[in-house]
Amino acid sequence: MINYRKTSYLRSAGSTESFLRDALPQVAMAGRSNVGKSSVINALTSQKNLARVGSAPGKTTQINYFLVDETFYLVDLPGYGYAKVSQAEKARWARLMEGYFASGLITLGVQIVDARHKPTENDLTMSRWFLDAACPYLVVANKLDKLKPSQIAPSLELIRQTLSLPESVPLIPFSAEKGTGCEELRAAIARLLAAPEAE
Ligand code: GTP
Ligand code: MG
């Protein structure tokens, strides 16, 4: 059993030279700016302020590494799709992300989308990056607490259809706010880290 409480921030990388390159698995978390990546990491690890929960979206332009129970890295990737960033910032983001995806360092991809909305063009692009990377991959539908119970199933179906997710890709309903889905996400991570070639 992985003890998520034993998670600590390790360091950040702003360029390919500073990527962590050791033998430990890397669970890469990506999502639109403000979708709740940092909140999901905090919920998963039962720590309130581990990953900074941003009041200023689009400000996390580095890759942040967290070491979980000396077993694997949670990798908080910089968010995408924030309108108010400059062309230069967007180009920097693209270089960093392309470098990370090309590095072959991703063991498991986790994409976080907003449970309330149809995935955006940027979500679709991100999803393709993960599928092309050919690593195991799963999707988390966050902010579930903002949906009425009757809206949950149709919303999940819309996400699966819009992203054209293969049946084998888990889609996990989640609320970082309420803690919904934490156990399911931990179980999926454990399963995919244990037998990555199975999916
Ligand atoms: P960037 O790092 O800026 O890209 O953002 P992020 O994806 O890390 O999002 P962050 O965790 O900072 O959360 C953004 C906002 O959404 C914050 O105000 C959170 O409190 C809120 N939020 C995150 N998860 C949930 C959730 O499950 N439910 C609700 N209601 N709000 C959430
Ligand atoms: Mg963040």
**Is residue 15 one of the residues assigned to a domain?**
yes
Tens digit of pLDDT for each residue in 60-81? 688 999 999 999 999 999 998 8
Ligand 1 atom 4: the closest Cα is on which residue? 33
Predicted confidence at residue 157, as pLDDT, reads 98
**Is residue 106 one of the residues assigned to a domain?**
yes
Report how far ligand 2's centroid is from the alpha carbon of 87 (Å): 20
**Is residue 2 one of the residues assigned to a domain?**
no
Predicted confidence at residue 48, as pLDDT, reads 80
> CA-CA distance, 87 to 104, in Å (whole number)?
27
Ligand 1 atom at shortest distance from the alpha carbon of 56: 3
171 sits in which H/E element: strand 171-173
CA dist 2 to 25, 61, 73, 133, 191, Å? 13, 29, 12, 25, 12
Q: Could you tell me which residues are beta bridge partners of residue 73?
A: 26, 67
Number of domains within the chain:
1
C-alpha angle 25/70/30, rounded to 5°?
Answer: 45
Tell me if 39 CB under 6 Å of ligand 1.
Answer: yes
CA dist 56 to 60, 61, 65, 78, Å? 9, 12, 20, 13
Tell me if 32 CB under 6 Å of ligand 1.
Answer: no
Q: Could you tell me which residues are beta bridge partners of residue 12?
A: 64
Q: How many C-beta atoms surround the C-beta of residue 49 within 10 A?
A: 8
Query: Cβ(120)–Cβ(32) under 8 Å?
Result: yes
**Is residue 50 one of the residues assigned to a domain?**
yes
Q: How many C-beta atoms surround the C-beta of residue 91 within 10 A?
A: 10
Domain interval for residue 149: 7-189
**Is residue 112 one of the residues assigned to a domain?**
yes
**Is residue 195 one of the residues assigned to a domain?**
no
Predicted confidence at residue 84, as pLDDT, reads 81
Tell me if 7 CB under 6 Å of ligand 1.
Answer: no
Report how far ligand 2's centroid is from the alpha carbon of 198 (Å): 31
Model confidence, pTM: 0.94
**Is residue 199 one of the residues assigned to a domain?**
no
Consecutive sets of 10 residues in the chain, 199 residues long: mean pLDDT of each?
A: 93 94 97 93 89 62 93 94 84 93 96 98 96 95 98 98 96 97 97 71
53: CATH: 3.40.50.300
Predicted confidence at residue 56, as pLDDT, reads 61
Ligand 1 atom at shortest distance from the alpha carbon of 176: 27
Predicted confidence at residue 160, as pLDDT, reads 98
**Is residue 196 one of the residues assigned to a domain?**
no
> CA-CA distance, 38 to 60, in Å (whole number)?
10
Tell me if 62 CB under 6 Å of ligand 1.
Answer: no
- List helix spans (H) across the chain: 37-44, 87-102, 121-133, 149-162, 182-194
